[in-house]
C-alpha cells in the first residue's frame, strides 16, 4: 500500500507536509520521503522506516527543508519520491498502486527506443522510476500520466510536483484509492486521508473522481483531465486499512464499521434464530474493535477488551527482519486482562480472516488464558482472491488464503470452480467452508459478514465498489 500528502501555499509548508505524511504512517512500513520546492530548487530526503517511525527519521531534516510547495509519501515498496529531469522539466514524483506487468513495460520501453533505467540491488526497476519513464514517453505530463495509467496492469495514483511549485494529482483510472483536496486561507493540500488535512487546519474542498487529473497551486485547482464514469473504490478502505477518522466518497470509516458489525449481527440472528450466549463481545485490535462495537450494540451484549495491544514501545513500524523475533513481538504485544478472559464466553470480531495464522494463535492465547468459549466473526466475507490492484496483501498466491486452501482440501481442483458458492455462507458449499475453517482454527463458532451486508454498510452504489477480493469480479 502506501499513502501521500502534498501542499502548495503562500507560506512555508514544511511542517504541514511533515505532519500530513506522518498521518499516513498506518499505510506502509518500508520507506518514506519528502521533496520540497523553494525558489527554483528542490530538496529531497528518503529514509527507511522499517525500524523507526516517520517522525523520528525525518525530524533532523526539517531545519534544512524550506518551501511553499512539497510532497511526501509513506511507501510499502520502493524508495520515493523521486526527482526526475526529462524533456518535461524537473519534477518530483510519488506513486501508490501496483504494477503487475512491470517486466513487459520495461521490455516495451527498450523496444521503443528507451535506453536505461537505474536498477536496484535486486535488479528490479524502482516502480516510481518506471512510472516516470512511461510519463516521459509523451509530450505533456497529462498525456504521459494517461498513457501510464492505460499501460499499467494494476493501478496508479500519483502526485507530481513541477518546477514551478504546482502539484499535479492523478487518481487511478478506476478510483481504487481516494485523493482529496483541502483548502485553507493560504493554499491547498492533497491527501489520501481526509483527517490528515482536517487536523492541520484545512477544510474539505474537493474529492477527485476516478481517473481525474488536477493541477493544484496556492491559489486554487483546475481539472486537467476529467473524471471517468466508472469507479471501483477499494472496499477494504472501510473494512480494514483506512484510518477511522477519514471519509471516502462521503462515507466515514469508523461509522461504517459500527454499521457493518450491527448488520452482521442482525443478519446472523435472522439466519440462525439466535446469537451465541456470551459474556462479552470484543474486537480483535485494532480495526476489529469498531466492527465489534457495532455487533455488541445491535445484540445488547456488553463490549469489552479482553486483550489490549501494548503499543508505546512497539509501533507498527517495528519490523525485525528475523521471523522468529517478529512472531515473538506479535505475541508480546497482546496483553491479556485475565479478569475478562478466565472462565468467560467471548465473541470476537476481526476485520477479516486472510491466512488465519495469526487468528489461530490469538485463539490459542485466549484459551491458554482460561477462556471458556471463543466465537469468531469476520467483518467481511471469505477472501478468495489476492488483491492485484494495490499490493495490498503480501500473499504471493491465492492458495495462501485460508479460504482457497480449505476449498482445495475439501474438494480439490473441482472446488476452485465453485468459489462463488463457497463465499456464500447460505449455500451447502459455503456452510462446509465455514465449518472447516471453524474447526481448523479452533473456534466454538464462526460466521462471516456477507457481501451484501458489507456493501449495505458502506452504503454507496455497489457498482462503484471493488469487491474483487471476495468475488473475483474485475
Ligand atoms: S482487490 Fe480487494 S484490496 Fe484490492 S482494491 Fe479490490 S477490494 Fe481493495
Ligand 1, pocket-test mutation among 451, 462, 466, most atoms within 8 A of CB: 466
Backbone angles phi, psi at 91, to 5 degrees: -150, 150
Q: Averaged over 270-291, what is the pLDDT?
A: 95
What is the predicted pLDDT for the residue at 77?
85
Model pLDDT for residues 426-462, shown as the tens digit of each residue: 899 999 999 999 999 999 999 999 999 999 999 999 9
Which residue's CA is minimally distant from atom 5 of ligand 1?
Answer: 234
Model pLDDT for residues 374-402, shown as the tens digit of each residue: 999 999 999 999 999 997 665 568 888 99
Which residue's CA is minimally distant from atom 2 of ligand 1?
Answer: 469
CATH 3.40.50.2020 fits 251-471, yes or no: yes
What is the predicted pLDDT for the residue at 123?
85
Which residue's CA is minimally distant from atom 1 of ligand 1?
Answer: 387
| Ligand 1 atom closest to residue 468's alpha carbon, by position in its atom list | 1
Ligand 1, pocket-test mutation among 395, 458, 469, 470, most atoms within 8 A of CB: 469
Q: What percent of the chain has pLDDT over 70?
A: 96
Q: Which band of pLDDT confidence, cut at 50, 70 and 90, is reported for residue 60?
A: very high
CATH class entry, domain 2-231? alpha beta
What whole-number distance in Å separates Cα of residue 434 and Cα of residue 448? 8
Q: Averaged over 403-429, what is the pLDDT?
A: 91
| Ligand 1 atom closest to residue 383's alpha carbon, by position in its atom list | 2
Q: CA-based angle 372:375:380, to the nearest 5?
A: 160
Show me where the domains of the chain are located. Answer: 2-231, 251-471
Ligand 1 centroid–CA 211 distance in Å is 17
Q: Helix 253-272 vs helix 451-458: angle between axes, to the nearest 10 degrees?
A: 140
Statement: the pTM of the whole predicted model exceeds 0.85:
yes
Instruction: Give yes or no for residue 127 having a pLDDT over 80.
Output: yes
Model pLDDT for residues 238-280, shown as the tens digit of each residue: 999 999 999 999 999 999 999 999 999 999 999 999 999 999 9
Kindly report the three-state secondary structure assignment for every residue of 236-255: HHHHHHCCCCCEECCEEHHH
> 221: which 3 cell numbers?
485547482
What is the predicted pLDDT for the residue at 165?
96
What whole-number distance in Å separates Cα of residue 333 and Cα of residue 328? 9
What whole-number distance in Å separates Cα of residue 235 and Cα of residue 456? 11
Ligand 1 centroid–CA 386 distance in Å is 8
| Ligand 1 atom closest to residue 155's alpha carbon, by position in its atom list | 5
Which residue's CA is minimally distant from atom 3 of ligand 1?
Answer: 387
| Ligand 1 site, CB within 6 A | 176, 234-236, 387, 389-390, 392, 466, 468-469
Q: Which band of pLDDT confidence, cut at 50, 70 and 90, is reported for residue 173?
A: very high
Model pLDDT for residues 294-347, shown as the tens digit of each residue: 999 999 999 999 988 887 766 554 555 566 777 777 777 878 899 999 999 999
Amino acid at each position: 500500500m502506501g499513502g501521500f500528502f502534498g501542499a502548495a501555499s503562500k507560506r512555508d509548508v514544511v511542517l504541514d507536509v511533515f505532519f500530513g505524511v506522518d498521518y499516513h504512517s498506518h499505510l506502509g512500513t518500508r520507506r518514506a520521503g519528502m521533496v520540497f520546492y523553494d525558489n527554483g530548487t528542490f530538496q529531497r530526503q528518503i529514509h527507511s522506516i522499517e525500524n523507526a517511525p516517520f517522525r523520528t527519521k525525518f525530524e533532523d531534516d526539517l531545519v534544512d527543508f524550506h518551501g511553499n510547495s512539497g510532497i511526501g509519501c509513506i511507501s510499502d515498496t520502493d524508495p520515493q519520491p523521486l526527482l526526475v529531469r526529462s524533456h518535461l522539466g524537473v519534477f518530483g514524483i510519488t506513486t501508490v498502486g501496483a504494477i503487475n506487468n512491470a517486466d513487459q513495460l520495461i521490455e516495451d520501453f527498450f523496444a521503443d527506443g528507451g535506453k536505461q533505467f537505474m536498477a536496484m540491488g535486486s535488479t528490479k526497476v524502482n516502480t516510481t522510476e518506471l512510472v516516470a519513464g512511461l510519463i516521459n514517453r509523451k509530450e505533456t505530463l497529462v498525456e504521459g500520466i494517461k498513457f501510464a495509467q492505460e499501460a499499467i496492469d494494476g493501478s496508479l495514483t500519483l502526485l507530481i510536483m513541477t518546477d514551478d511549485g504546482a502539484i499535479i494529482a492523478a487518481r487511478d483510472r478506476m478510483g481504487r484509492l481516494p485523493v482529496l483536496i483541502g483548502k485553507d486561507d493560504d493554499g491547498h493540500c492533497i491527501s489520501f486521508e481526509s483527517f490528515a488535512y482536517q487536523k492541520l487546519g484545512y477544510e474539505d474542498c474537493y474529492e477527485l473522481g476516478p481517473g481525474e487529473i488536477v493541477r493544484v497551486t496556492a491559489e486554487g485547482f483546475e481539472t486537467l483531465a476529467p473524471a471517468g464514469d466508472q469507479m471501483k473504490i477499494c472496499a477494504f478502505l472501510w473494512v480494514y486499512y483506512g484510518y477511522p477518522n477519514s471519509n471516502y466518497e462521503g462515507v466515514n470509516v469508523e461509522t461504517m464499521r459500527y454499521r457493518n458489525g450491527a448488520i452482521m449481527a442482525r443478519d446472523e440472528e435472522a439466519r440462525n434464530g439466535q446469537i451465541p450466549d456470551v459474556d462479552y463481545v470484543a474486537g480483535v485490535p485494532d480495526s476489529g474493535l469498531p466492527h465489534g462495537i457495532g455487533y455488541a450494540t445491535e445484540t445488547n451484549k456488553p463490549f469489552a477488551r479482553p486483550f489490549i495491544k501494548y503499543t508505546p514501545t512497539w509501533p507498527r513500524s517495528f519490523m525485525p527482519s528475523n521471523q522468529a523475533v517478529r512472531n515473538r513481538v506479535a505475541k508480546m504485544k497482546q496483553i491479556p486482562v485475565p479478569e475478562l478472559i478466565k472462565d468467560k464466553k467471548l465473541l470476537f470480531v476481526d476485520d477479516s480472516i486472510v491466512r488465519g495464522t495469526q487468528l489461530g494463535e490469538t485463539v490459542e492465547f485466549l484459551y491458554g488464558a482460561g477462556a471458556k468459549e471463543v466465537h469468531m466473526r469476520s467483518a467481511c466475507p471469505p477472501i478468495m482472491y489476492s488483491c492485484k490492484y494495490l499490493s495490498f496483501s503480501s500473499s504471493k498466491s491465492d492458495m495462501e488464503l485460508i479460504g482457497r486452501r480449505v476449498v482445495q482440501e475439501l474438494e480439490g481442483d473441482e472446488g476452485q470452480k465453485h468459489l462463488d458458492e463457497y463465499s456464500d455462507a447460505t449455500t451447502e458449499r459455503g456452510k462446509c467452508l465455514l465449518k472447516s475453517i471453524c474447526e481448523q482454527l479452533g473456534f466454538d463458532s464462526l460466521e462471516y459478514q456477507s457481501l451484501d451486508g458489507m456493501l449495505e454498510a458502506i452504503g454507496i452504489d455497489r457498482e462503484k465498489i471493488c469487491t474483487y477480493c471476495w468475488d473475483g469480479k474485475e
